[in-house]
Chain A
Amino acid sequence: MIGERKALRKRIVLSNTNALEVYGINDLSAKNMADETQIGQVLGLDGELLDQLREVKAFKPTQNWNMFRKPGTLIRRESVELGKTVIDVMAGNTDGRPRSVRRIVAGERSTGKSLFLLQAMSMAFLRDWVVINVPEGMFGRGNDGI
C-alpha cells in the first residue's frame, strides 16, 4: 500500500500500557502554567489540548512519548517564564496596545527546544489563542515535506 511505510515511520504513539500510571500529577492548565511551585514537576497533557497538539503536529516521532502511560511535560524555570510571558502578552502594553514577542530559541542538541515550543503551544491553546505551528522540515525538504 502506498505510504504505509512512511505512515509507520511517522506515527506518534503517546501511550504505553506497560508503563506504570503515575498518580498525583496534575495536568497543565491555564491556572498553573506560570506557577513557580511546579518547577521540577511533570504536568500531564490531556483532553482537548492533547487532540489539538496532535492535530498541529507538535509531537515528534523521535521523542520518547511511547515510554509512558500518559503524555506529560517537565516544567523547568524557562517554562514558568514562558507562562508569564504568555500572560504578559495578554495583558498588553501599559498604553493598552497588544504586545508582540519575537524570539529565537537556540541551544545545543537535545536541550529541549522543540519541547519548549510544545509547551508554548499548549499554553497558547489553553488561553484560547490561535496557534499556527510549522513543524520541522515542512517547507524546504522537497517531496512536499517530510
Chain B
Amino acid sequence: MYNQPKLIAELLQRVSKSNEKVLKRLPLAHTHDLAEYRPKDLHHLALIGAQNPSMSWTVWQALWKELTSPSQQKRPPVLVALDGIDSWMTLSKYRSAEYNLIHAHQLVPIRHFLEILFNKSGAGQLANGGMVLAATTGSNSPSVPTFEILLKQVEARERGLNMGNERFPMPKPYEPVDQRVLGLLQGSEGLTVQRLKGLEKDVEAKGLLEYFARSGVMREVVNDSTVGEKWSLAGGGVVGELARFGKRLRV
C-alpha cells in the first residue's frame, strides 16, 4: 500500500477552507493520537493535517472518524463527491521500486474512498447521514471493461438478480479480468447506479438554448424547430453536445 501524504494535505486544506464556518462550530468528540497538537475544533484539526503532510493521513482518519462515527456531538451530514472513478479501476501512473505499474487500489486514498463508496466493512455507513456520489468519466471507459461489467452487476443486483442467476452479467469466458475491481461488488448492497442521458427536448433543452440566446452566445431564434434540430444533432439532447451547437456560429 502506498500513501500520498502531500495530496491528502492538499485535500485537507481545501476541505478546511471551503467548510470553514461549519467546521469551526464542531468540537471534537473522540480522542486521537496527534503528537503534541490539541485541536479545539474540526477546522483546526483539518488545518493541522494541511500544514503537516507527514501527519496528513493520521489527521484525515481522525477527521473522517469525527464526521462519520456516532458520537454525543451533533454533526451535519457529509457529501463525498468523487469524479472520474474510471481511473481508479485500473493501473495508476505510479511505479513501484521494481518499476512495475502500481494498481490504483494499492494507493491508500483511493482504497479508502472506494471502501466508503462500496461500503466495505461498513465504511460507507455515515452515522450522521449523507451521500457518497461518484461519477464515471464516460470518455475512456472502454479501456476499463471490467469496470463496465461491475456497473452492470450493480444494476442487475438492484433489479433482484444475483450471482447464481443465469442472467446475471458475468465477464466473457476468455476475457482478462481485474479481480480487484470485481471484488468490489461483495458487501456493497445499497449502492445504486444512475445513468444520465440526454436532456428532455421541450423544457430542458429549450431552457438551456434560451439561456444561451439571452446571453448573446447563440445568435439564432429559439423555437421548436431550431431546438428540435439541435436536440437531434446532439444525439438526443446530450447536454455537452447541445452546448457546443448552441455556441456555434452559423455561417
Contacts and interface: CB of A to CB of B under 8 A. Distances in A.
Interface of A: 18-20, 22, 25, 39-42, 51-52, 55-58, 64, 67-69, 72, 74, 76-78, 85-86, 89-90, 92, 98-117, 120-121, 124-125, 127-145
B127 interface: yes
B241 A117 contact: no
B50 interface: no
B28 interface: no
B47 to A, nearest CB: 14
Contacts of B88: 139-140
Given A131-B81, A137-B87, A39 B131 contact: no
A90 B196 contact: no
Contacts of B128: 98
Given A64-B247, A139-B109, A110 B239 contact: yes
Contacts of A133: 14, 81, 83
Contacts of A18: 216
A89 B239 contact: no
Interface stretch (B30-38, B171-179, B199-207): B199-207
B104 interface: yes
B160 interface: no
25 contacts: A19-B216, A20-B214, A20-B216, A39-B203, A40-B207, A67-B215, A74-B239, A86-B131, A92-B129, A103-B193, A104-B193, A106-B138, A106-B194, A106-B196, A110-B238, A112-B196, A116-B135, A120-B81, A129-B78, A130-B79, A132-B78, A134-B80, A139-B88, A144-B4, A144-B7
A129 B117 contact: no
B84 interface: yes
B83 A117 contact: yes
B196 A105 contact: yes
Contact of B7 (A100, A111, A127, A138): A138
A67 to B, nearest CB: 5
B149 interface: no
B22 interface: yes
B136 interface: yes
A120 B38 CA distance: 33
A54 to B, nearest CB: 9
B133 interface: yes
B198 interface: yes
Interface string B143-177: 00000000100100000000000000000000000
B127 A98 contact: yes
Residue from A86, A107, A145 whose CB has the most chain B CB atoms within 10 Å: A107
Contacts of A90: 77, 129
Interface in B217-238: 217, 235, 238
A76 to B, nearest CB: 5
A64 B6 CA distance: 30
Contacts of A19: 215-217
A130 B7 contact: no
Contacts of B132: 100-103
B183 interface: no
Contact of A109 (B85, B139, B214): B139
Contacts of A104: 85, 117, 134-136, 151, 154, 191-194
Contacts of B200: 76-77
B76 A101 contact: no
B19 interface: yes
Given A67-B217, A89-B130, A113 B138 contact: yes
